[in-house]
Amino acid sequence: MKHLIETLIFVFSISCLYNCTEKKSISKNDLEITFKNDSLYTFSDKSSKDTVNIIRYSIKNNSSNIYYINKMIRGAEVYKEGIYKNGVNIFVFDSNTNKEVKYKQDLTDYGNFDTKSFYDFIKNEADSTSKWLGYKYTLDYFETFDIEDKRIFIHPNEELYFEYPIFIKKFQKFDGNRIGFVNLNSNKNYYATISIASDRLISSNKLPRDILKTIEINNAKIYHGILESKNKVPIKVLE
């Protein structure tokens, strides 16, 4: 009962925070994401090989506000399909037409990987963690191997740097929370942008108490919208 009351208090507090945030619109220029790679690499659609890319990017806060970036995306308003891993999307475009390519989403296309067992495992982890912490329901926040990666608070004039490994055309076991792949033609030219979406609208009943309390006590704002890099990174398709 005590945990339930505390949770309700936090939810009420954060709801008040949302109302204040909605009254003052968030500028699209408050946060800025930059792709730090010089280029990306993959093998052509005719090859069975793929290669790992170390994705590097930064987020800069150009405002006077403290922001929390909530990468738990549920709303269609801030969801966009791409090469997704742990809250970060890479979008791939044809350089000649500037049209975005189509992404493959089905993990079963990539060998005998038991996707149901994988998602059952992370769901059970979330169930257990939520129960141990005294929640009366399961928090989606705990459905990940990268909890710390979700704790993104960024202060005024601060710039944060990140990196992670990813394969562009093939799923690899133990590749984290991963969705989306592309098969590219070596006779064409491509480029990529990087993006993070932050959803404020689902936060009050999805974030744990410690995150909500940190947001409240520091008068932080939950960013709502899609951050996409203005710079483009070429993709080199190998034979």
Q: Please state the domain extents for the chain.
A: 27-199+218-238
pLDDT tens sequence across 165-209: 898 987 665 565 678 899 999 999 999 999 998 888 766 667 888
- Of 65-74, 86-95, 117-126, 141-150, the range with the lowest mean pLDDT is 141-150
68 Cβ contact partners less than 8 Å away, ≥ 6 residues apart: 152, 153, 211, 214, 215, 220, 221, 222, 223
> pLDDT above 90 covers what percent of the chain?
42
Q: Which residue has the tokens 């963690």?
A: 129
If one compares 147 and 86, the residue with the highest pLDDT of the two is 86
Residue 67 pLDDT greater than 90, yes or no = yes
Q: pLDDT at position 10, please?
A: 44
Query: In this structure, what are the phi and psi dihedrals at residue 161, rounded to the nearest 5 degrees?
Result: -115, 145
Q: What is the mean pLDDT of residues 78-84?
A: 84
Residue 83 pLDDT greater than 60, yes or no = yes
Helices (H), the chain: 2-23, 115-132, 209-217
Residue 217 pLDDT greater than 50, yes or no = yes
Q: pLDDT at position 138, please?
A: 80
Bridge partners (DSSP) listed for residue 58: 34, 161
* pLDDT-derived band at 106, boundaries 50, 70, 90: low
Residue 234 pLDDT greater than 90, yes or no = yes
69 Cβ contact partners less than 8 Å away, ≥ 6 residues apart: 31, 59, 152, 153, 154, 196, 198, 223
pLDDT tens sequence across 128-152: 877 877 888 787 777 665 555 667 9
- Of 32-41, 119-128, 143-152, the range with the lowest mean pLDDT is 143-152
Residue 160 pLDDT greater than 80, yes or no = yes
**26, 220 in Cβ contact below 8 A?**
no
Residue 124 pLDDT greater than 50, yes or no = yes
